[in-house]
Amino acid sequence: MPAPAAARTHAPTTGLRWYVPMSTAALIRESLLAQSVPAPSPAPLALQHRLYRAAIAIVPPTAAPLRAVGSERMESDEALLAAFAHGDAGAFETLMQRHLGWMVAWARRDLPGPDAEDAAQEAFLALVRKAAGLQLQGRLRGYLFGLLRIEVLRARRSLQRRQGEPLDDDAAGTELPAEEPSPAMKVLARRAHDEVAAAMLRVCTLREQEVLLFDLEDVDNKVIAAALDMTEVNVRVVRHRAIAKLRKALASPADDPRPGHGHGR
């Protein structure tokens, strides 16, 4: 069903649409971003130049920008992305300057420097490839954060393989859980998004967090497995493990099913 007119906005003069209210997964991801992204710092110049060249190779500029480029531009991220999709390369320069620094800093928490830079670049290029037809639920910053998280997980998996380390979601020796309909939604839907994000950061791995967020968006196991470089069996194992952790972390008397517990009954 379309969002009510009062709750829907459109980026001016573009085909890029920004819908409000956001989905549960988008709201939780925004909270994860607010609680975990480090203070921004400039991205390496060599990375900026490499990313800029790659971006304009995918979306070639159609004309010289008519407005100021770089830090002087004041448009929203969503308007800048739409302008870039229409050939304004200066708009991409501004987006890159706003976001590439924090993306690299966040990726470096889980990856060595060169791998972190590659993950940030791949996340930005994934955005570039989708720019023309992208429909956002929430801010572009949150969408970029989601892309970055996936790229970091894939890069970390590749690094583990190169170093001969065991994979962080190996299901060997683990009893395969039974499938449940929308298990994440049952646990998370009634909770405040900041509370859920804080619990995820406290008790879940990054891979567990992403499996739950995909589940909240009704993505099937095959698609999750392909996105996160996992098997479908491991998706089920990781989901089951993450749900158990969150149920414990978010437990309250209202959740206790035993007679005499919760709401004074």
- 171-189 confidence digits (pLDDT tens): 444 555 555 555 566 667 6
Which pLDDT does position 8 carry in this prediction? 32
What domains are there in the chain, each with its CATH number? 5-162 (1.10.1740.10), 183-252 (1.10.10)
Would residue 47 be called left, alpha or beta, if left means φ above 0 and alpha means ψ between -120 and 50 degrees? alpha
* 3-state secondary structure at position 38: coil
The neighbour count for residue 68, using CB atoms within 10 Å, is 11
For 9-29, letters b (16+ CB in 10 Å) and e give eebeebebbbbeebebbbbbb
CA–CA gap between residue 205 and residue 160 (Å, rounded): 16
> How far separated are the first and last CA of the chain, in Å rounded?
38
For the sheet with 135-137, list strands across it.
Answer: 8-10, 17-19, 135-137
- 53-81 confidence digits (pLDDT tens): 999 999 999 865 545 444 467 889 999 99
Strand partners, 10: 17
With a cut of 50, say whether residue 256 has pLDDT above it: no
CA–CA gap between residue 206 and residue 107 (Å, rounded): 12
Name the percent of the chain in helix, strand, coil, to the closest 5. Answer: 60, 5, 35
CA dihedral 35, 186, 174, 249 (to 10 degrees): 40
- 183-215 confidence digits (pLDDT tens): 566 667 677 889 999 999 999 999 999 999 998
CA–CA gap between residue 130 and residue 136 (Å, rounded): 11
- pLDDT interval class at 166 (50, 70, 90): low
43 CB-near residues (< 8 Å, 6+ apart)? 96, 100, 101, 103, 104, 117, 120
With a cut of 90, say whether residue 51 has pLDDT above it: yes
Tell me the residue type at 165.
Answer: E
Tell me the residue type at 138.
Answer: G
CA–CA gap between residue 2 and residue 8 (Å, rounded): 9
CA dihedral 7, 194, 80, 115 (to 10 degrees): -150
